[in-house]
Amino acid sequence: MKPSSRRNFIGDATKAGIGGMFALPVIGSLLSFTSKSKVPPPPPAFKTGFDQTPLAYAFNALEPNIDAETMQIHYTKHAAAYSKNLKEAAAAEGIDATGSVEDVLAKVSKYSMKVRNNGGGHYNHELFWKVLSASTTTQPSAALSAAITTSFGSLDALQKQFNELAKTRFGSGWAWLIVTPEKKLVVTSTPNQDNTMMDISDVKGFPLFGLDVWEHAYYLKYRNVRADYVTNFWKVLNWGYVNERFAQSA
């Protein structure tokens, strides 16, 4: 196949939604050859749309660790604004709002700061609501526990590293546990509404969970004591959902 026809073939396959059975290996091998540092696409089950999804629990379900008033304002005002502003920016910049936010984040450097801030903000919160749970009975799966031991030595060590990053992130941002493209577990943090799915991120990977450390996420209850909010986050972390994300990404 001549180089020009090969390009055309890939272009057509991409436009067709990368649906062709035999197009996938071609595109996959090109990607792994040309862009080693890119975040691999997320498992289809975890694609994020542009609209807010309903909360799976009541605003007061996470009391006393996260209070009802914070949850209500956070979900209906802050997070709702990210979704609204993302859709507005998408319309202005020719982004298909029926696609996935992950696809936008993977090339966010091509778009405006409005897309970066609100695309990140929407994605991060959609994930955040799902990694929270009123149930405190869930635990890391055997597979995730093994990976945590390999990467950190123990769950305690992971929590210590994560808490330190969450507490010391200057200003507003997020702390993350991610699976890197090399399939390693790493804790990291990002400023503002950035995340590790973005092509501009220094550390890239698929987030298993993230913690919002913007003051709007904790100030009503915890005031200036971010450390207590970070510690209590572990009491409402939905390991069941984290296990699912890990199983499909590792």
- The site for Mn ion (CB under 5 A) is made up of 212, 214, 217
User: Which residues have CB under 8 Å from 130's CB, separation 6+?
Assistant: 56, 238, 241
Report the alpha-carbon distance of residue 52 to residue 70 in Å, rounded.
17
Nearer to Mn ion, 209 or 246 (CB): 209
Report the alpha-carbon distance of residue 231 to residue 93 in Å, rounded.
40
Report the alpha-carbon distance of residue 131 to residue 238 in Å, rounded.
5
Report the alpha-carbon distance of residue 238 to residue 222 in Å, rounded.
21
3-state secondary structure of 173: strand
Q: How far is the CB of 125 from Mn ion (least distance, A)?
A: 6
Nearer to Mn ion, 193 or 238 (CB): 193
Q: How far is the CB of 116 from Mn ion (least distance, A)?
A: 16
Q: How far is the CB of 74 from Mn ion (least distance, A)?
A: 6
Nearer to Mn ion, 214 or 229 (CB): 214
Q: Which residue is nearest to Mn ion (CB)?
A: 212
Q: How far is the CB of 222 from Mn ion (least distance, A)?
A: 14
Please give the helix or strand (H or E) that residue 48 lies within, else none. Answer: none
Nearer to Mn ion, 83 or 180 (CB): 83
